[in-house]
């Protein structure tokens, strides 16, 4: 039986979403603006990278073609081969929202058909009754923050007070999230996870997509840094996903990165969660090497989003893209006859855009493997086309409302 590998480059959108205006994102283009910045010298950083964006392997599979099809503009400085070696196209999100669960669930065949809840007030973001419930059920002296904020900034600002008072740092963003930052030693990692589970139950009636544990270490004197022990507590998908179908048919599923968190650990099989894109690629290749016939490996590479998109770090984002491009031949070499690999994204996070949040964009879709015939997939009217196509390839039938290519 054939196998399938699905890699989500978290936030690597390719612009062009027709409904971007409704999200305040008209004109956002993660890949396009990074490439333009690099071509103009704004993507240079000493000892990190310099010059035009260099993605020969992704371009060989059709990335430049997909970006141009999405936006009508060439990917500046990136050579576009005459004939891509893979199947290429771009996906249009139909789910409501521009967050991680919406994108991943739709990729897996379950578009979001309801409105997420949000904390829209920039200050005093959380309802008083919710705060009271968290303090009481969490046995806390209170909370800090209670506003919209970038995670790194609010930890630097309130980390010392958190250590002194024992109050966790609670904050949100334009996404459907409740985030809790706490020091791994002074507050305790397991205590932070337990608090997140408590908050998860309290925000369920509000349809908040994720409660996110944001552990950090350090000191006021030397500064603070977030660790790799982040954990997302998400609501489960409302309908069947590709993962559910595979589990029901007894197939082997291995998930790498935060896939388990995104799907509320439902049908996510063996979960592997290393820290950093490079470690996740290594872990995915190790898992792939032992994946039996008929198996599925689902990977999320989160650094693009958390380390560079939200931090509006163009050179860092460009370097991460180039690092993945260099790893791509290892992925291709690991594929055997009958295997199919798909590379895509879940939303955008344009590092040149205003604010620090996700951007509503199309996503590239690249499909390749031994014997996969090069072909233009064109505009796919839902990310769910990926689940439908993978289901057909794996012999379990199309999953969800998408249209297989």
**What pLDDT digit, counting tens, does each position of 233-287 carry?**
989 999 999 999 999 999 999 999 999 999 999 999 999 999 999 999 999 999 9
Residue 228 banded pLDDT, cuts 50, 70, 90? confident
Centre a 10 Å sphere on the Cβ of residue 142 and count the other Cβ atoms it contains. 13
Residue 108 to residue 263: CA distance in whole angstroms: 10
Count of CA atoms in the C-beta half-sphere (13 A) of 79: 8
What is the pLDDT, as a whole number, of residue 152?
87
Mean pLDDT along residues 344-370: 96
> Residue 280 burial by CB count (10 A; 0-12/13-18/19+): exposed, middle or buried?
buried
Mean pLDDT along residues 10-21: 97
Question: Where do the H-state alpha helices sit in 249-351?
Answer: 259-262, 277-290, 303, 314-334
What is the pLDDT, as a whole number, of residue 310?
92
B/e letters for 218-231, b = 16+ CB within 10 Å, e = fewer, are beeeeebebeebbb
Which tens digits make up the pLDDT trace of 321-332? 999 999 999 999
Mean pLDDT along residues 308-328: 97
What is the pLDDT, as a whole number, of residue 2?
96
What is the pLDDT, as a whole number, of residue 144?
98
What is the pLDDT, as a whole number, of residue 330?
98
What is the pLDDT, as a whole number, of residue 151?
87
DSSP per residue over 31-72, as a string?
HHHHHHHHHTTTT-BTTTB-SS---HHHHHHTHHHHHHHHHS
Mean pLDDT along residues 197-207: 96
Mean pLDDT along residues 25-45: 97
DSSP 222: T
Which tens digits make up the pLDDT trace of 64-78? 999 999 999 999 999
Mean pLDDT along residues 187-191: 97
What is the pLDDT, as a whole number, of residue 94?
97
The candidate with the shortest Cα–Cα distance to 261, out of 96, 105, 95, is 105
- Mean confidence (pLDDT) of the chain: 96
* Residue 179, H or E segment: strand 177-183
Instruction: Give the Cα-Cα-Cα angle 136, 139, 142 (nearest 5 degrees).
Output: 75
Residue 107, pLDDT > 90, answer yes
Share of the chain above pLDDT 90, in %: 93
Q: What distance separates the 2 farthest-apart alpha carbons in the chain? A: 63
What is the pLDDT, as a whole number, of residue 159?
97
What is the pLDDT, as a whole number, of residue 113?
87
What is the pLDDT, as a whole number, of residue 174?
81
Which tens digits make up the pLDDT trace of 139-171? 999 999 999 998 889 999 999 999 999 999 999
């Amino acid at each position: 039986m054939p196998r399938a590998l699905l890699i989500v480059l978290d936030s690597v959108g390719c612009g062009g979403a027709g409904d971007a205006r409704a999200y305040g994102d008209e004109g956002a283009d993660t890949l396009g603006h990074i490439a333009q910045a690099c071509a103009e010298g704004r993507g240079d950083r000493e000892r990190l990278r310099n010059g035009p964006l260099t993605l020969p392997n992704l371009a060989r599979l059709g990335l430049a073609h997909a970006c141009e099809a999405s936006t009508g503009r060439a990917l500046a400085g990136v050579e576009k081969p005459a004939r891509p070696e893979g199947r290429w196209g771009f996906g249009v999100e139909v789910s409501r929202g521009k967050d991680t669960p919406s994108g991943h669930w739709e990729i897996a065949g379950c578009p979001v058909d309801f409105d997420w809840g949000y904390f829209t007030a920039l200050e005093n973001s959380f309802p008083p009754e919710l705060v009271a419930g968290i303090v009481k059920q969490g046995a806390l002296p209170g909370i800090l923050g209670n506003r919209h904020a970038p995670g790194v900034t609010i930890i630097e600002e309130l980390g010392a007070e958190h250590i002194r008072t024992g109050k966790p740092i609670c904050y949100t963003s334009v996404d459907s999230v409740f985030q809790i930052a706490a020091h791994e030693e002074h507050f305790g990692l397991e205590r932070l996870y337990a608090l997140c589970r408590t908050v998860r139950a309290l925000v369920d009636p509000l349809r908040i997509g994720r409660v996110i544990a944001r552990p950090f270490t350090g000191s006021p004197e030397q500064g603070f840094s977030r660790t790799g022990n982040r954990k997302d507590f998400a609501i489960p998908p409302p309908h069947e996903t590709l993962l559910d179908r595979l589990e029901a048919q007894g197939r082997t599923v291995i998930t790498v990165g935060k896939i388990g968190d995104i799907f509320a650990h439902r049908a996510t099989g063996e979960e592997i969660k290393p820290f950093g894109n490079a470690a996740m690629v290594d872990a995915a290749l190790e898992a792939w090497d032992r994946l039996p016939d008929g198996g599925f490996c689902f990977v999320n590479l989160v650094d693009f989003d958390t380390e560079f998109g939200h931090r509006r770090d163009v050179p860092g984002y460009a370097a991460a893209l180039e690092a993945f491009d260099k790893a791509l031949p290892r992925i291709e070499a690991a594929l055997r006859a009958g295997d199919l690999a798909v590379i895509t994204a879940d939303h955008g996070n344009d590092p040149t855009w205003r604010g620090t949040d996700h951007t509503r964009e199309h996503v590239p879709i690249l499909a390749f493997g031994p014997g996969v015939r090069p072909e233009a997939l064109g505009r796919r009217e839902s990310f769910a086309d990926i689940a439908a196509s993978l289901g057909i390839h794996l012999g379990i039938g199309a999953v969800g409302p998408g249209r297989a290519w």
